[in-house]
Structure 1
Amino acid sequence: MGDQFFILALPLAVALVVSRVLARRLNLPEPILLLPLGVAMSFLPGVHEVRVPPDVVLNFFLPPLVYHAAFLTAPRESRQDAVPITVMAVGLTCATAVAVMSAASLAIPGLGWAAALALGAAVAPTDPVSATSVMQRVGAPRRLVTILEGESLLNDGVALTLWSLALSGLAVELTAAHAGLTLLRVAGGGILYGLALAWLIARVRPLFKDPPSQIVLSLMTPYLAYLSAEHLGVSGVLATIMTGFVFGVRGQGVLQPASRLTGQVFWNVLVHLLESSLFVLLGLQMSSVFHGVRQGPWTWASLAVAALAAITAVVGLRLLWSLLVLPLARGRTPLDLAQRLVVGWAGMRGAITLAIALSLPLSVHQRPLLLFVAACVVVATLCLQAPTLAPLLRTLGLGEARAEMLEEASAREAVLEAALARLDALAADDRIDDRTAQVFRQLFELRLDRVRAVLDDEEPAAATPGAGAGTVRRELVRVQRAKLRDLYRRGEIHAETLRRLDHELDMEERRRVTGRQ
């Protein structure tokens, strides 16, 4: 087992490093390079003999990915756009699964409804990472990013619920009534269990004070939610999503301020490794997939037709849904034609699709076929849509970040003014000495001048505070954080602005904790 782990870990590490270097030089999304690198690595001696059990893929990769996405969901913005998010995440996901199921059944006679539904459920959920990274880089409206992220989070739960139904259909015969009751029990039970578990962990969290313990607890949370829910026969992914969403709404989850910087780095690295590893793992299995396809009853023509039909259903249906169905959703200010076109084109598939497909049991004889078609859908959407999204945004005039930049500058101005007001109050009450008050006043006034000029926020280091600087810094951070929360509660800033400025305050607080001025 140790030798197999090393044989598998080495190509994974090499592929991750090489893809990162090539992606930067070629200006391409990393997943586009990870899959062919995995295929190339599969020809190394001994690598093609290593097999990762499907249940390991589902139980190890999926929980932290969906938990992290749920944790970062903007609660107020998602609530404001709940109607379009629901229309896309529930309606479009179900429609896509049915469309792919129908297309695959027609392209490959005798496939069976359960196997066809498994394929549809695998390729139905979107992966917003590639799309949102492009949109944030070019400065697209944050509302579009929120809708895509909210849709991706919710459609993961919908798709995996359909996936569970398909697996049940592959194991035993299901009637329509039985299938409906199963869906209701699995979905409803998962949501309730996730809420209960979040309440319990929130009570346990204060017992852990040191950063390593808090980070370990944050890592244990998604696995505890997912695995225990699955053991109880309810939806593990919905339980994990609800747990992550509750902690995200609460502000900072299970991490205390002193642990957040380290925790953010830990989770960013972990999610990147998990998502990238899924693409490499699929590449490593492609040789066995092709071998299984050749041994099966399917012809290359039928495979090509099935892949093309699935790609057309995934891409085409999403565009039609965004342009024709989404305008019918009544809610907040409707999306205009250009925004709907971007939403329709930003439906790339990625890590979640791969995790679902790779978790298909080895006992299912259609597994090579389903993996092949799912891989074609992922590669096609990444190669077709990801490189063209930025030009589309610029062509439609949605690449301006002026509004977001002004919002952030206004938020910075407000929190700095609150800090200066608190500093004056501390000085007036003789709670700090004049030297310390003057140094911090110069520091914050300089920052305020830079913010008002919409320049970069940099700290001068011209003077050294006197005694009591740590107390002053802690108090000023507290006041700024309270002002920032107030701005968000009043709806004056976006959740992304809140997270960015909150991160800077965490860094400021860390300077206080580590004794750096």
Structure 2
Amino acid sequence: MIEDYFFVGLAVALIMLLGRAVARGLGIPPAIPLVLLGLAASLLPGMSDVVIPPEVVLNLYLPPLVYHAAFLTAPRETREDAVPISVMAFGLTCVTALGVMTAVHLALPQLGWPVALALGAAVAPTDPVAATSVLKRLGAPRRLVTILEGESLVNDAVALTLFGLALTMVAEGVTFAEGGLLLVRVVAGGVLYGLVLGWAIARLRGRIKDNGAQIVVSLVTPFVAYLPAEHFGLSGVLATVSTGFYLGVRAHGLLQPSSRLTGNAFWEVLVLLLESSLFVLLGLEIRQVLADVSDYSAASLALIAALVVAVVVLVRLGWTMGVFPLARWLPGRHLSFDRVGGTHRLIMGWAGMRGAITLAIALSIPLTVPDRPLLIFLAVVVILATLVGQATTLAPLLRRLGLGEPEETMVEEARAREATMEAALTKLDRLAADGEVDERTADVFRQLLELRLDRVRAILDDETDTGDDGDTSRDPGTRGLRRQLAEVQRDKLEELYAKRRISAETQRRLIHELDLEDRRRASSPH
């Protein structure tokens, strides 16, 4: 038994390495080669019997994936674009789920409404990475990226809540009216529990100075949010999202620079492993899924799959082009919709790829649900169809429409760098005037800061300036000064973000640079 697990794990690891290399070489989403290589590996002896227990996917994969996405949410941008994000995340997700439910029920009435709703909920949420990674790389309008990121975070919670409601209806036979009341309790309870837990963990992490302990707490957090909430009948996903968002908003003031660096690296690797292994394991299961749906003819499967894909794609395009503009008339204070024109809405409609969350939901369908293999098959077809058909054509479409603002992003970052350098120079002058730093040391740091400032003002700093800035790091007396100047720059970035002069992405990237410099100086020999 142990040997079997070892060989399966080894095969999954090798496929992950090969699949990501192929994706990088061909410029396609990693999910495609990972699934195909997993399918090829299932032909090997002993690999065809690999089955992922639904509870493993639901309890092991979903919490950290959802938590990580919530933690990285940009709070100010999300708040400012709350109306368009809500229109997409709540309205479109529900309409997509209901549209797929109706189409599947009409095509396969024997499945029943709750089972059809479970499939609709599985394929409703979009992938938070597939589209936005392309948009960011090509310099698409930042507001477009913000709306899509906010949508992909919130719609995960909406879809998973609908999915839980559908499973409850399958198991207990509750009516839609009873399900509506249950939905209110599940949502409100999950959000409240998540916020309370976030507050408690923030207090705890503020007292922890050890980087290893910080990672342990961050790893445990999504499971402490998800599992107890689910146990008591609340929304574990909403609890996890609320906890992650609460902690993410406070991350800069809560954690030390070294803890941020270590934590960011750990979570990047963890999410990569979870998402990649999930697609590989799906590929290993496809043979069994196809065998389980062999009662249906190939023509019937193709027709049903085409119907579901068409509903998913066309409902989103119809929503972004026709319904989304109407949100400008909703009450409340929100940004003008004038900057989201027809070309922007077309990109939003086409950027509806499905990914790891859809796969995780589909694989978490209990074994007792009727026609579970068919539901997984249809979800997989939707994932592959949107990844192949949309993810690979999104970049050419963006270029064709001329949507991109790389110069604006560069100018914003340069201005942020300029402001932080000026703040550091002001702090340095104050320290020298007060006699806390001798004039010779102050002159050395002043020259270094002014040199960087000149580069920034010429917009020539391309983030490759990682060379040695002098040998002042060897002097213990200057280390404290460096920390003070770095802290002033972090405070300035917080101020710029609060005043809406920079985005959360720019703030996060420049703080990451300051953290790296702190670590480099701390590790240099005395």
1:329 alignment counterpart: 327
Q: Describe how 1:115-154 pairs up with structure 2 within 5 A.
A: 115-154=115-154
Partner of 1:463: 470
Distance in 2 between residues matched to 1:318 and 1:2, nearest whole Å: 46
1:336-347 aligned within 5 A: 336-347=341-352
Give, in angstroms, the shift of residue 253 of structure 1: 8.3
Matched, 1:498 2:501: no
Q: How far off its partner does 1:459 sit?
A: 4.5
Q: Secondary structure at the match of 2:374?
A: helix
What secondary structure does 1:329 align onto? helix
- The match for 1:395 among 400, 404, 417 is 400
For 1:516 and 1:410, locate their aligned partners in 2 and report how far apart those are by CA, in whole Å: 33
Q: How does 1:234-383 map to 2 (within 5 A)?
A: 234-252=234-252, 255-294=255-294, 296=295, 298-330=296-328, 331-334=334-337, 335-383=340-388
Change (3 A) 1:427 1:122: same
Report whether the alignment pairs 1:423 with 2:404: no
Show the counterpart of 1:232.
Answer: 232
In structure 2, the partner of 1:183 is 183
1:128 to partner: Cα distance: 2.4
Number of equivalent positions: 515
Contact 2:206 2:255 in 1 (8 A): no
- Deviations 1:345-379 (Å, cap 9, x if unpaired)? 10000000000000011122311100110000000
On the 8 A contact 1:138/1:399 being kept in 2, the answer is yes
Aligned pair in 2 of structure 1 residues 516, 237: CA closer, same or farther (>3 Å)? Answer: farther
Task: Tell me, in whole angstroms, the C-alpha distance in 2 between the residues paired with 1:252 and 1:18.
Answer: 36
Contact residue 7 and residue 46 of structure 1 kept, 8 A: no
Q: Distance in 1 between matches of 2:24 and 2:59?
A: 31
For 1:73-112, what aligned pairs fall within 5 Å after superposition? 73-112=73-112
Share of identical aligned residues, percent?
60
Name the stretch that deviates more: 507-516 or 8-17: 507-516
Give, in angstroms, the shift of residue 269 of structure 1.
0.7
Shift of 1:116: 0.6
**One-letter amino acid of the counterpart of residue 337, structure 1:** G
Map of 2:203 onto structure 1? 203
Structure 1 stretch displaced more, 139-148 or 344-353: 139-148
In the alignment, the residues of structure 1 paired with residue 467 and residue 302 of structure 2 have an alpha-carbon distance, to the nearest angstrom, of 62
Amino acid at match of 2:325: P
Contact 2:16 2:34 in 1 (8 A): yes
**1:281 is paired with a residue of what secondary structure?**
helix
The equivalent residue for 1:72 is: 72
For 2:469 and 2:231, the matched residues in 1 are separated by 60
1:288-320 CA distances to partner (integer Å, 9 max, x unpaired)? 1011101x4x33222111111110011111011
1:336 alignment partner AA: G
Q: What displacement does 1:153 show?
A: 0.7
CA separation in 2, counterparts of 1:292 and 1:397?
46
* Alpha-carbon displacement from aligned partner over 1:236-260 (angstroms, at most 9, x marks no partner): 0000000000011113486432211
Deviation at 1:52, TM superposition (A): 2.0
TM-score, structure 1 normalization: 0.97
What's the TM-score once normalised by structure 2's chain length? Answer: 0.95
Return the offset for 1:145: 1.0
Read off the aligned partner of 1:502 and give its amino acid letter.
I
**1:322/1:340 contact within 8 Å kept:** yes
Q: Whole-Å Cα distance in 2 between the matches of residues 149 and 422 of structure 1? A: 37
**After superposition, what is the alpha-carbon deviation per residue over 1:254-292, rounded to whole angstroms, capped at 9, x for unaligned?**
643221111111000111111111111111110110111
- 1:25 Cα deviation from its structure 2 partner: 1.4
Who is 2:391 aligned against? Answer: 386
Structure 1 distance, partners of 2:403, 2:420, is: 29
Q: CA deviation at 1:70?
A: 0.4
Aligned twin of 1:164: 164
**Which stretch of the first structure deviates more once superposed, 433-442 or 247-256?**
247-256
Question: Which of 443, 448, 452 is residue 448 of structure 2 equivalent to?
Answer: 443
CA distance in structure 2 between the aligned counterparts of 1:3 and 1:233, rounded to whole angstroms: 38
Q: How does 1:7-22 map to 2 (within 5 A)?
A: 7-22=7-22
Structure 1 CA distance for aligned equivalents of residues 355 and 477 of structure 2: 51
> Which amino acid is the alignment partner of residue 500 of structure 2?
G
Secondary structure (helix, strand or coil) at the match of 2:187 reads helix
Aligned-partner residue type, residue 480 of structure 1 = Q
Shift of 1:514: 2.3
Q: What is the CA RMSD across the aligned residues, in angstroms? A: 1.5
Question: Taking structure 1 as reference, are residues 277 and 411 closer, same or farther at Cα in structure 2, changes over 3 Å only?
Answer: same
- The alpha carbon displacement at 1:400 in A equals 2.7
Unaligned runs of 5+ in 2: 329-333
1:462 Cα offset (Å): 5.8
Distance in 2, matches of 1:124 and 1:418, equals 46
Provide closer, same or farther for how the CA distance between residues 316 and 516 of structure 1 changes in structure 2, counting only shifts above 3 A.
farther
Q: Which moved more, 1:351-360 or 1:275-284?
A: 275-284
Deviates more, 1:437-446 or 1:144-153: 437-446
Cα 1:139/1:396, change in 2 over 3 Å? same
CA apart distance, 1:503? 0.5
Q: 1:443, 1:459 within 8 Å by CA — same for their partners in 2?
A: no
The secondary structure found in structure 2 opposite 1:47 is coil
State the shift of 1:167 in Å.
0.7
Please, which runs of 5 or more residues in structure 1 have no aligned partner? none
CA contact (8 A) 2:111 2:370 kept: no
| Residue 460 of structure 1: how far off its partner (Å) | 4.8
Residues 169 and 175 of structure 2 are in contact (CA less than 8 Å); yes or no, is this contact kept in structure 1?
A: no
2-side partners of 1:4 and 1:76: how far apart? 49
SS at match of 2:129: helix
Task: Please name the residue that 2:331 is paired with.
Answer: none
